[in-house]
Amino acid sequence: MNITKTQILTYAAILLGGILLGWMIFGGSSDQTDHTGHDHAQTESSNEVWTCSMHPSVRSDEPGSCPICGMDLIPASSEAREDDFTMVMTEAAIQLANIQTTPVVRGVPQKEITLPGRIAVDERRISYVTAHFEGRIHDVKIDFTGAPIRQGEVMATIYSQEVVSGQRELLEAYRNRDRNPGMYESAVRKFRLWEFTDEQIQGIIGRGEIQTHMEILSPVDGYVMVRNVVDDQHVMEGTVIYEVANLDHLWVTLEAYEEDIDWISVGDNIEFRTRSNPGRTYEASVAYIDPTFNPQSRTIRIRADIANSDHRLRPDMLVTGILQSNGREENLMVPSSAVLWTGSRSLVYVKDDSGEVPEFRVHEVELGRRAGDHFVIEDGLNGDEQVVFHGAFRIDSEMQLADRFSMMNRQPGTGAVPAGHQHGEREEHTAEAEDLSEGVSDDFRAELTEMIRVYLELKDTLVESDFEEASRLSSGLKGELESIGEHRNQGDAHVAWMESYSNLMAHLSAMDEAANIEEIRTQFRYVSDMLVQAVKSFGIDGIVYQQYCPMAFEDEGAYWLSSEEQIQNPYLPETMLMCGEVISRIER
């Protein structure tokens, strides 16, 4: 068979075409498949979110270090779902942040109340020895306060022209008692009204002569609590000569603070101890609750009765009472450390383990009474939740940084942290605070600025850990607040400052009495929270920086104000001086 040149070229073209087609179908498909898989892997990688185990609000699209604490970022779960009321945390993050939870408790609230007080004389057992006629005291037998005395014992003698005349009438009436018994009874009645005893009356009759000086006798057994006379003193009718108290039964008067009043009822048992014998416990029951409130001490007086036959208890002894009180019905309760309280609003964080990754949801709750280490929850929980009792402040801080609903941020999504806050960015953000500057006078703003100046000095002193200087500045800061006064500003600014003043004064007073620098730091934390809000609401002259350390107070976190942007941590200066971040720059 002869093959022409044309045929050879045709076959060659077909062969080359087949090879090319096979390469395109198989080789090209394989390359395309690999390329597609590679792109998919890249897409998955690019969609993976990295976060910090200690600061879940940090988000990055690539590995790296946390801009807050420097820890390596870890992958965030792709299953995590967060909203304005939820914070997702991995188990590793929960362990590192030391977040601890406990079930909501259902039970009858109980509270142990410590009540300061003192022993007092039972007012119902005080007898008053009174002059029922004008006269002159003679021969005072009981001449000092506190003297023991028995009923019928002579206390003093008295001369009275009225008593002398009365004796003449008594003797005359006695002699004529058969003819006029009414006159005799009238004369005897007069001496009884003068509080002379029947023995004294019969003594006058028996002697048949007038006594110029009559004896004043004690009406009861007891102790002389008050002596108002001396020898030869002239007294008028109605003068109280002596006060005699029977100390076989005494009162225990105790001061109950305002927050404890609802826990105390008549009949409640009280145990108390004295300082003189702290090993001995006495028992009594509440007999009376004062209806009036003491505005200075912010307390109400309660009273118990106590037998004192051995006279070991003495009036004005200081005592410490312990009252165990039980509620009347079951309630939901959570540990007090689980509650983030900001006045009218209270928050708790509830852990939800139903998903692949644990999440924490914020619940706004209505608080009832405080029962020891727990708060009664009136509304906001169902009773089957797990609440965060350690680390709640830490979670709340991260919620605030992420611009979600939190203790200081009622309106999430309004810019507390700009949207899309990513790893490596250091953008400013501020907690919500109502602008009340329109109701603030220039004088008030100047005085608040001076108070902040002293506060900033105190902050620097805490950085230096100088207790003596910190104590001095604590007193100075309290003095600045007192100088400003409570009733300032107009409208809403007036109401807001009144509340701030009361809270600041409470913590500054505690700071002023602190025994060491750690106690000052504890109060400084709360003072800082309130001054941050005051500066934002009322304004000051100049610029300050709100700063935050998440590691302070065992990882609960704490804020402070600084005049400089550079971090100088007043809570952990010895170990973590540079730990912290600038939350906001505040200026008017």
Average pLDDT over every residue of 509-537: 90
Residue 79: is its pLDDT beyond 50?
Answer: no
Residue 358: is its pLDDT beyond 70?
Answer: yes
Mean pLDDT score of the chain: 82
Q: What is the pLDDT of residue 406?
A: 81
Average pLDDT over every residue of 140-149: 92
Of 33-47, 263-277, 327-341, 515-529, least confident by mean pLDDT is 33-47
What's the pLDDT band for 586 if we cut at 50, 70, 90?
confident
Of 49-53, 360-364, 427-431, 511-515, least confident by mean pLDDT is 427-431
Closest by Cα among 388, 264, 296 to 335 = 388
Angle 467-484/442-464 helices, nearest 10 degrees? 170
Average pLDDT over every residue of 502-523: 88
| More confidently predicted of 42 and 288 | 288
Residue 483: is its pLDDT beyond 70?
Answer: yes
Q: What is the pLDDT of residue 27?
A: 45
Q: pLDDT tens, 412-429?
A: 766 544 433 333 333 333
Burial class (CB in 10 A: 0-12, 13-18, 19+), 257: middle
Of 61-70, 117-126, 164-173, 514-523, least confident by mean pLDDT is 61-70
> Looking up tokens 């109605």, which residue turns up?
238
Residue 34: is its pLDDT beyond 50?
Answer: no
Q: What is the pLDDT of residue 26?
A: 41
Looking at residue 218, its amino acid is S
How crowded is the C-beta side of 287, counted as CA atoms within 13 Å?
A: 11
Closest by Cα among 38, 41, 66, 39 to 54 = 66
Q: What is the pLDDT of residue 123?
A: 92
Average pLDDT over every residue of 396-403: 77
Q: What is the pLDDT of residue 57?
A: 65
Q: What is the pLDDT of residue 374?
A: 86
Between the alpha carbon of residue 210 and those of residues 99, 141, 186, 428, the distances in Å are 93, 22, 18, 101
| More confidently predicted of 303 and 67 | 303
- Contact between 237 and 281 under an 8 Å Cβ cutoff? The reply is no
What's the pLDDT band for 228 if we cut at 50, 70, 90?
very high
Q: What is the pLDDT of residue 37?
A: 42
| More confidently predicted of 197 and 10 | 197
Residue 320: is its pLDDT beyond 50?
Answer: yes
What's the pLDDT band for 299 if we cut at 50, 70, 90?
confident
Cα-based angle 129, 135, 140 (whole degrees, multiple of 5): 60
What's the pLDDT band for 29 if we cut at 50, 70, 90?
very low
Residue 68: is its pLDDT beyond 80?
Answer: no
Q: pLDDT tens, 282-291?
A: 999 999 999 9
What's the pLDDT band for 130 if we cut at 50, 70, 90?
very high
Closest by Cα among 349, 275, 258 to 316 = 275
Residue 164: is its pLDDT beyond 90?
Answer: yes
Average pLDDT over every residue of 444-454: 92
Average pLDDT over every residue of 131-140: 92
Helix or strand holding residue 12 (H, E): helix 5-22
Query: Percentage of residues in the chain with pLDDT exceeding 90?
Result: 44
Average pLDDT over every residue of 188-217: 92
Query: Percentage of residues in the chain with pLDDT exceeding 70?
Result: 83
111: number of Cβ within 10 Å: 19
Q: What is the pLDDT of residue 491?
A: 74
Residue 141: is its pLDDT beyond 50?
Answer: yes
Highest mean pLDDT: which of 24-38, 167-181, 492-506?
A: 167-181
What's the pLDDT band for 343 if we cut at 50, 70, 90?
low
> Looking up tokens 């009594």, which residue turns up?
284
